A = this chain, B = another copy of it.
Amino acid sequence: MMFVIVQDSKQRMIESAAVLMRERGVEATSLSEVLAHSGAPRGSIYHHFPGGKAQLIEEATRYAGDFTAAGLGQALATDDPVAGIKAFSAMWIRILERSDYMSGCPVVAATLEGEGSPGARAAAGAAFESWERSITEALAPHLEEPSRAHSVATLVITAIEGAVVLARAQRSSAPLERVADELERLLAGALGRR
């Protein structure tokens, strides 16, 4: 029973770190704010994360990467990748609008710390790669030129991630809507539907 509670407080801290990172970046996400947000006791940080903040941020980045990968997997679990990518863009529009454009992507935040958190940056690189791979695999069987699957997948991820940044800066989901329209058109073309 104790084991379950301990695991739960670790997971709560990871989720709190991801929430704070997506709103304010890694550097401004302090351990005391993670504790306050998660309700975990102070002593639990070095119990669960002997590597301190660097380890917590790295695990939060991995968690956020897996969480988004699951959402993407679900969106792509139909036989219609165009609809799947549209659903993925729509998910981001909801996140932005519900948070009044405060919530971005924690994996992008982890990247921007650069040399300040190399473990988190590596976890971010692996997360992006797993998302690209999901889309590549979903697209390849449908594309007129299957060799384009990887580059189209990279375009989808980069354009949506970039649009989330523009949407936050401009406090509007319009950039993401324009990007979703262009991606839908590009995918329809690559799939030979036009």
| A33 at interface by CB-CB < 8 Å | no
Q: CA A127 – CA B157 in complex, angstroms?
A: 22
Closest Cβ of chain B to A37, distance in Å, is 15
Q: CA A183 – CA B179 in complex, angstroms?
A: 13
In the complex this chain forms, how many copies of it are found? 2
A171 contacts which of B125, B181, B183 (Cβ < 8 Å)?
Answer: B125
Residues on B with beta carbons closer than 8 Å to the beta carbon of A28 = 27, 113, 116
**B-contact bits for A2-41, CB 8 A (1 contact / 0 none):** 0000000000000000000001111110000000000000
Decide if A169 touches B23 in the complex (CB within 8 Å): no
**B-contact bits for A160-190, CB 8 A (1 contact / 0 none):** 1111011011110001001101110010010
Contacts A114-B104, A160-B162, A163-B154; is A25 near B24 (CB within 8 Å)? Answer: no
Please, could you name 24 A-B residue pairs with CB atoms under 8 Å apart, sorted by A?
Answer: A23-B114, A24-B113, A25-B116, A26-B27, A27-B27, A102-B115, A104-B112, A104-B114, A108-B165, A111-B165, A112-B112, A112-B168, A114-B168, A122-B169, A125-B166, A148-B182, A151-B179, A151-B181, A158-B166, A158-B175, A158-B179, A159-B159, A159-B162, A162-B163
Closest 3 CB pairs between A and B? Answer: A158-B162, A162-B162, A27-B27
